[in-house]
């Protein structure tokens, strides 16, 4: 009975009173959420390519969001899917290709797009990063117990470039965030909210505390949910994905969301 009562008290303390140190994030604005181009400007130019990110910046975003994976030869490539089928018509996995082999596959174009594009390496985007006020790098992870090998390569990239003051690293996999936080605590981290589990609000709350994320990145369906208020009371910043129309954007402003990710920049700006 004493053990049960003590357990309840500890849980109550962790949920309502315990806090953890957050990394400083000076890129947030006071009057509105920061706007990040989700994979660049994907309705104008092929997602996750340098011209797409440049287009997003030309459209007036505050920052850019991108996805990373490891190739067979351990290069960090900017690519969302685990294979090339959707974007190039070739059903082969990113992890099964050397980066030079990926370069032989051009990616599909969006309507009216003139640029011929390929998947860049992360380091190829440094000129874009220099122009952007904020960068969100999402680590793609295919399972909860992913090896996390990509983290060491990402840490090397971050160590070699002065981006900590404006770079968020996010992931749906909380163990990735936990590993990164342990190995490189100065990195700003964002736990991506997953709704594909039972009791997902509680699931995400528990993992946010376990990995001690700086931010919670939440689907716009849950902008008004209790976990947003909980995260803010914990001192976390809350960013929302993927907001593609003005109605939801106004809802995010009313909810005092700190940042948004959008595909349709022209409808938000």
Show the tokens assigned to 12: 């109550």
- Where does residue 157 rank: exposed (0-12), middle (13-18), buried (19+ CB within 10 A)? middle
CB 253 within 8 A of CB 32: yes
- The DSSP letter of residue 119 is P
Half-sphere exposure of 144 (CA within 13 A, CB side): 5
Token pair 């220099």 is at which residue?
Answer: 130
3-state secondary structure 231-262: HHHCCCEEEEECCCCHHHHHHHHHCCCCEEEE
pLDDT at 87: 97
CB 34 within 8 A of CB 259: yes
Query: Which residues of the chain are under the pLDDT cut of 50?
Result: none
pLDDT at 61: 97
Of 51, 79, 85, 84, which Cα lies nearest the Cα of 66? 79
Mention every residue, 6+ apart, whose C-beta is less than 8 A from residue 8.
Answer: none
pLDDT at 10: 86
Of 45, 55, 26, which Cα lies nearest the Cα of 269? 55
pLDDT at 269: 63
Separation of alpha carbons 97 and 92, rounded Å? 8
pLDDT at 7: 83
Show the tokens assigned to 177: 């965030």
- Where does residue 25 rank: exposed (0-12), middle (13-18), buried (19+ CB within 10 A)? middle
Kindly report whether the global pTM for this prediction surpasses the value 0.85: yes
């Amino acid at each position: 009975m004493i053990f049960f009562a003590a357990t309840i008290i500890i849980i109550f303390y962790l949920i309502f009173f315990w806090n953890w140190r957050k990394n400083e994030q000076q890129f947030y604005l006071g009057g509105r959420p920061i706007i990040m181009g989700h994979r660049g400007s994907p309705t104008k130019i092929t997602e996750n390519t340098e011209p797409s990110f440049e287009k997003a910046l030309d459209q007036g975003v505050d920052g850019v969001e991108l996805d990373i994976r490891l190739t067979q030869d351990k290069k960090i490539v900017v690519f969302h899917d685990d294979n090339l089928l959707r974007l190039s018509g070739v059903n082969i996995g990113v992890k099964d290709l050397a980066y030079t082999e990926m370069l032989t596959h051009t990616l599909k174009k969006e309507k009216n797009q003139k640029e011929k594009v390929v998947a860049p390496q992360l380091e190829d985007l440094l000129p874009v990063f220099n122009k952007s006020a904020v960068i969100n790098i999402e680590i793609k992870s295919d399972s909860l117990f992913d090896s996390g090998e990509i983290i060491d390569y990402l840490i090397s990239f971050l160590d070699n470039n002065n981006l900590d003051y404006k770079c968020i690293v996010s992931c749906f996999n909380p163990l990735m965030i936990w590993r990164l936080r342990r190995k490189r605590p100065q990195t700003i981290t964002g736990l991506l909210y997953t709704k594909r589990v039972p009791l997902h609000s509680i699931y995400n709350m528990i993992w946010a505390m376990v990995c001690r994320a700086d931010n919670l990145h939440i689907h716009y369906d849950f902008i008004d949910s209790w976990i947003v208020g909980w995260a803010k009371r914990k001192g976390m910043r809350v960013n929302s994905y993927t907001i593609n129309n003005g109605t939801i954007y106004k809802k995010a402003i009313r909810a005092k969301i700190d940042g948004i990710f959008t595909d349709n920049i022209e409808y938000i700006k």
